Amino acid sequence: MSQDMKQAALDYHEFPRPGKISVELSTSAESAQDLALAYSPGVAEPVREIAKDPELAYRYTAKGNLVAVITNGSAILGLGDLGPLASKPVMEGKSLLFKKFAGLDSIDIEVDAESPQAFIDTVARIAETFGGINLEDIKAPECFEIERVLIERCNIPVFHDDQHGTAIVTAAGMINALEIAGKELSEASIVCLGAGAAANACMKLLVNMGAKVENIYMLDRKGVIHSGREELTPEKAAFATETDKRTLDDAIDGADVFVGLSGPDLLSAEQLAKMAPTPVVFACANPDPEIRPELAHATRDDVIMATGRSDFPNQVNNVLGFPFIFRGAMDVRASAINEEMKAAAVRAIAELAKEPVPQEVLDAYELDSLEFGAQYIIPKPTDTRLLGAVSGAVAQAAIDSGVARLPLPDHYPLTTAADLK
């Protein structure tokens, strides 16, 4: 990052006032009567009602539109374990995105916990406050246990976005890329470089969408995760393939798909050249991908390429998913975000990329035209149709799978944030 960009980032976070979020009042507080209703003595009435029926908290408080963004700061972006306080700008940023894209109020919570169990206990004890919990920037393998236990202990949606948000957007783009390449997910040979939280979730979701485990070669720092390896975590063991492939060079030979969730410049031009015709390459390491798009396209004119960066086509960006997934889940008061809801989000995002692109999106990216194809396999983050498409699909999937407590709201399908009630 240039010095000018560094300073601009610091200025953005400092001015006109420090931070990126604030609290605003949602009702009148001007008169003595207002204050008497807002606090004592009037506030006693909703207190009594909620004590009799806890579900009335959704009627009389902000709970139903409030998401907690919670971290222990153990895996901040690509910066590593810098502690909970250092993660606060990232968590505030996530809260900003919830509000901007889905109209959800959100507060960031940074937990200084001495152990995963302490973190779990802290989050579980404050969960009553919120309508949903977004876990963020928690390192593997602890994140798997943290999310699993919190889902069991809480009766509101708990969602680790680094795992499932990445997986949902990746799967949507992957399905479209393979369609363009004339290939089936069920038959594709997939190489996944990386075996952390995002990689595990991506591969698990692709399997749920139709990929075959025996066609997936996952690699960690020691190479291919195969059935002969010992001391594998349960998450890695699920992808331990019966194979004699041991290195990336072995696995990439003839592969249809490369998914990179690892580090910069780890896929060489020579390795890309060994892939099958019309290879699909998702090089998602940020800010520097496993292979630069310029190098990939210079090496293969048939490659379909995606990265995690906004300055190249086909950005795998979690903001395409998580705001709208929570919106849909919370609007039908789902008790969890299950596999059916994730799959519904995948399909909604994938299908939206096939529809004509609105002029406002073209204007935002200074483009004359954009249509479904190798340079456009997933929607742009500024596409306002995501709100209605994804939230509606997720809400309906929650109802169909039996985790919703409310029917589809009358104001669905959503078209803009102004539809939110």
CA Rg, the chain, in Å? 22
Alpha-carbon gap, residue 219 to 240, rounded angstroms: 10
Q: Which of 284, 311, 292 has its CA nearest to residue 365?
A: 311
Under a CB-based contact definition with an 8 Å cutoff, are residues 121 and 112 in contact? no
Alpha-carbon gap, residue 112 to 132, rounded angstroms: 21
Q: At 124, give phi and psi (nearest 5°).
A: -60, -35
Q: At 136, give phi and psi (nearest 5°).
A: -150, 145
94 has catalytic annotation: yes
Burial class, 412, CB count within 10 angstroms (exposed 0-12 / middle 13-18 / buried 19+) = middle
Q: In three state form, how does the secondary structure of 41-68 look?
A: CCCHHHHHHHHHCHHHHHHHCCHHHEEE
Of 20, 63, 88, 94, the catalytic one is 94
**To which H or E segment does residue 109 belong?**
strand 105-110
Alpha-carbon gap, residue 212 to 73, rounded angstroms: 34
SS3 content of the chain, % helix, strand, coil (to 5): 45, 10, 40
Alpha-carbon gap, residue 296 to 306, rounded angstroms: 11
Write b or e for each residue in 345-360: b if 16 or more Cβ atoms lie within 10 A of its Cβ, otherwise e: bbbbbbebbeeebeee
Of 6, 12, 39, 354, the catalytic one is 39
Q: Tokens standing for 11?
A: 């200025």
Residues with catalytic function: 39, 94
